[in-house]
Amino acid sequence: MLKQNLVALLTIVRKEWNRIIRIWIQTLIPPVITMALYFLIFGELVGRQIGKIGDFTYIEFIVPGLIMMSVITNAYGNVVSSFFGTKWQKNIEELLVSPTSPYTIVLGYTFGGVVRGLSVGFLVTLTSLCFTKLRIYNGFLILITVFLTSVLFSLGGFLNSLFAKKFDDVTIIPTFILTPLTYLGGVFYSVKNLPEVWQIISYGNPILYMVNAFRYGFLGVSDVNVYFSLGILSLLSALLFYINVRLMQTGYGIRN
Under a CB-based contact definition with an 8 Å cutoff, are residues 163 and 248 in contact?
Answer: no
What are the tens digits of pLDDT across the range 123-143? Answer: 999 999 999 989 899 999 999
* SS3 of residue 34 by DSSP: helix
pLDDT higher than threshold 70 for residue 1: no
Q: With contact defined as beta carbons under 8 Å apart, do 9 and 102 qualify?
A: no
Over residues 53-97, the pLDDT tens digits come to: 888 999 999 999 999 999 999 999 999 999 998 888 888 888 878
The per-residue pLDDT for range 217-241, each reduced to its tens digit, is 999 999 999 999 999 999 999 999 9
66 to 29, 48, 97, 180, 250: CA distances (angstroms)? 15, 18, 41, 14, 38
CA–CA separation, 234 and 43 (whole Å): 31
DSSP conformational letter for 53: E
pLDDT at 43: 79
pLDDT band at residue 256 under the 50/70/90 scheme: low
How do residues 89-116 score in pLDDT, each as one tens digit?
Answer: 888 888 878 888 999 999 999 999 999 9
CA distance 61 to 181: 19
